[in-house]
């Protein structure tokens, strides 16, 4: 993907940015293609609720983006759903703030410059100083671990990316959707580019995410453009979630929803197992109960994901006897159909 280089601007560093340092004049001036300049006085900006790319107090000019469309908003909402899956498998929450104002304060604490991100992701919200009700403020709140910008009709590289770099945002994803807006330049080819802040404060393009290790740009782009998440996407999300959980010492059992599903399934299976144990032998009954509990757990996970299952599922309860609980959960989270689930259940690499 072609990259003319970010806007050269003063930089600030650290987990919480402290604002721009005084330096040489900015060069070149930031551009906001796909946006319309509009005069927005200082007294109105804090109450402005429309969509904008950038506002500067010195000029009182807001660069207003085109009205949002489903093709702009879909990647934003999809990313939130994807990281929720990762969070469930990891066993701890992730926080997404959606379209959020990013403020650099000036004199008297009033906003001096404002960017508006398309999506902001906090990977460890319980440890972060999160944004307030109005905005994320540089120097007061922690940076998001990832900011997503969707270039449906814009080009953030010519303006916003340089500002993100100068303020010290650690990771910015620029997504150019598969569906092309009429106003988008033909040279802007579909794809996702990951920009990582290096130690010298400049962005470097990376093939994979730093916040979500192992999540490659090409796989993120594919997932953001799917109408329904594919089996491959679910498998990738699970792998990333398990890897992040391994670092934190957490897993699916630490997620309240998954834990509840497992407990309910085991509870029902235990009851049936005990009843059958009196008639056919306690040992056999307990084994049957465990198998039915695992089968019930698989059914609940599949249904919660919208995967259709047959009325008699699972018809072959003993098939669960040789599969571990982790294998069943893995297959249920990654499969795209009942048949695919049964195949994955017996695969050694599932």
Same-domain pairing of 95 and 209: yes
The three-class DSSP label of residue 317 is helix
Phi/psi of residue 311, nearest 5 degrees: -60, -30
In a domain, 195, yes or no: yes
Q: What angle is formed at CA 316 by the lines to CA 314 and CA 320, rounded to 5 degrees?
A: 85
Determine contact, residues 294/272, Cβ cutoff 8 Å.
no
Residue 317: pLDDT over 80: no
Determine contact, residues 264/294, Cβ cutoff 8 Å.
no
- Token pair in block for residue 107: 């004199």
Determine contact, residues 168/143, Cβ cutoff 8 Å.
yes
Lowest mean pLDDT among 105-109, 171-175, 193-197, 223-227: 105-109
Write down the pLDDT at residue 273: 56
Rounded mean pLDDT, 96-108? 86
Same-domain pairing of 216 and 266: no
In a domain, 23, yes or no: no
Q: What CA–CA distance (Å, rounded) separates 142 from 105?
A: 15
Confidence of residue 127 (pLDDT cuts 50, 70, 90): very high
* Domain ranges, residue 71: 35-228
Write down the pLDDT at residue 178: 79
Q: Who wins on pLDDT, 224 or 37?
A: 224
Same-domain pairing of 80 and 187: yes
- HSE at residue 338, side-chain half, CA atoms within 13 A, is 13
In a domain, 6, yes or no: no
Q: What CA–CA distance (Å, rounded) separates 295 from 315?
A: 10
Same-domain pairing of 64 and 158: yes
Residue 239: pLDDT over 70: yes
Write down the pLDDT at residue 153: 64
- Token pair in block for residue 225: 């453009």
- Token pair in block for residue 198: 């290096």
Write down the pLDDT at residue 95: 95
Same-domain pairing of 172 and 305: no
In a domain, 1, yes or no: no
Rounded mean pLDDT, 4-25? 42
Residue 231: pLDDT over 70: yes
CB neighbourhood size of 42 (10 A): 13
Phi/psi of residue 126, nearest 5 degrees: -70, -15
pLDDT digits (tens, 9 = 90+) for 181-219: 565 556 668 899 999 999 999 999 999 999 999 999 999
Same-domain pairing of 207 and 317: no
Same-domain pairing of 193 and 260: no
Determine contact, residues 25/43, Cβ cutoff 8 Å.
no
In a domain, 135, yes or no: yes
Greatest mean pLDDT among 82-91, 143-152, 154-163 lies in 82-91
What residues form DSSP beta bridges with 113?
Answer: 56, 104
What residues form DSSP beta bridges with 173?
Answer: 148, 194
Average pLDDT of the chain is: 79
Write down the pLDDT at residue 291: 72
Residue 1: pLDDT over 50: no
Q: What CA–CA distance (Å, rounded) separates 195 from 162?
A: 11
Same-domain pairing of 71 and 117: yes
> What separation, in Å, do the N-terminal and C-terminal C-alpha atoms of the chain show?
34
Residues 6+ apart with CB under 8 A from 321: 287, 291
Phi/psi of residue 121, nearest 5 degrees: -120, 125
Same-domain pairing of 105 and 162: yes
Q: State how many domains the chain has.
A: 2
Determine contact, residues 171/148, Cβ cutoff 8 Å.
no
**Could you write out the DSSP letters of every residue in 76-121?**
HHHHHHHHHHHHHHHTS--EE--SEEEEEE-GGG-EEEEEEESEEE
Indicate the pTM of the whole model. 0.67
Write down the pLDDT at residue 61: 77
In a domain, 51, yes or no: yes
90, 93, 94, 95 alpha-carbon torsion, rounded to 10°: 170
Rounded mean pLDDT, 73-83? 91
Same-domain pairing of 212 and 314: no
Residue 108: pLDDT over 80: no
In a domain, 190, yes or no: yes
Rounded mean pLDDT, 136-163? 87
Question: Domain of 205: which CATH number?
Answer: 3.90.1570.10
- 315, 319, 312: which is closest to 291 by C-alpha? 319
Q: DSSP H helical segments within 214-313, as ranges?
A: 217-224, 231-248, 256-280, 282-304
In a domain, 196, yes or no: yes
Same-domain pairing of 160 and 261: no
Same-domain pairing of 110 and 211: yes
- 92, 150, 96, 91: which is closest to 120 by C-alpha? 96
Strand (E) or helix (H) holding 327: helix 325-334
Rounded mean pLDDT, 91-120? 88
How many Å separate Cα 139 from the centre of its chain?
24
Residue 159: pLDDT over 80: no
Q: What CA–CA distance (Å, rounded) separates 97 from 248?
A: 23
């Amino acid at each position: 993907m072609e990259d003319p280089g970010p806007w050269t601007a003063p930089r600030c560093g650290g987990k919480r940015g402290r604002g721009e340092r005084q330096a040489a004049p900015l060069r070149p001036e930031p551009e906001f293609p796909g946006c319309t300049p509009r005069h927005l006085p200082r007294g109105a900006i804090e109450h402005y609720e429309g969509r904008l790319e950038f506002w500067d107090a010195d000029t009182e000019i807001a660069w207003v983006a085109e009205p949002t469309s489903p093709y702009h908003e879909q990647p934003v909402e999809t990313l939130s759903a994807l990281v929720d899956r990762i969070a469930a498998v990891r066993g701890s929450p992730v926080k997404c703030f959606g379209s959020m104002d990013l403020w650099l304060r000036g004199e008297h604490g009033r906003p001096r410059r404002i960017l508006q991100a398309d999506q902001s992701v906090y990977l460890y919200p319980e440890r972060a100083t999160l944004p307030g009700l109005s905005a994320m403020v540089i120097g007061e709140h922690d940076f998001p671990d990832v900011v997503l910008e969707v270039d449906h009709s814009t080009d953030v590289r010519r303006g916003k990316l340089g500002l993100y770099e100068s303020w010290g945002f650690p990771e910015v994803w620029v997504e150019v959707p598969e569906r092309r807006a009429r106003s988008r330049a033909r040279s802007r080819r579909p794809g996702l580019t990951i920009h990582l802040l290096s130690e010298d404060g400049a962005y470097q393009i990376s093939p994979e995410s730093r916040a979500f290790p192992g999540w490659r740009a090409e796989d993120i782009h594919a997932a953001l453009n799917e109408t329904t998440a594919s089996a491959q996407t679910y498998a990738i999300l699970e792998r990333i979630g398990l890897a992040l959980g391994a670092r934190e010492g957490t897993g699916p059992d630490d997620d309240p929803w998954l834990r509840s599903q497992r407990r309910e399934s085991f509870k029902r299976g235990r009851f049936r197992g005990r009843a059958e144990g009196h008639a056919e032998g306690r040992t056999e009954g307990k084994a049957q109960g465990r198998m039915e509990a695992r089968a019930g757990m698989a059914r609940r996970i599949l249904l919660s994901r919208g995967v259709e299952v047959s009325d008699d599922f699972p018809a072959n309860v003993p098939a669960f006897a040789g599969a571990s609980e982790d294998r069943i959960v893995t297959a249920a989270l990654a499969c795209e159909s009942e048949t695919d689930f049964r195949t994955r259940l017996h695969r050694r690499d599932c």
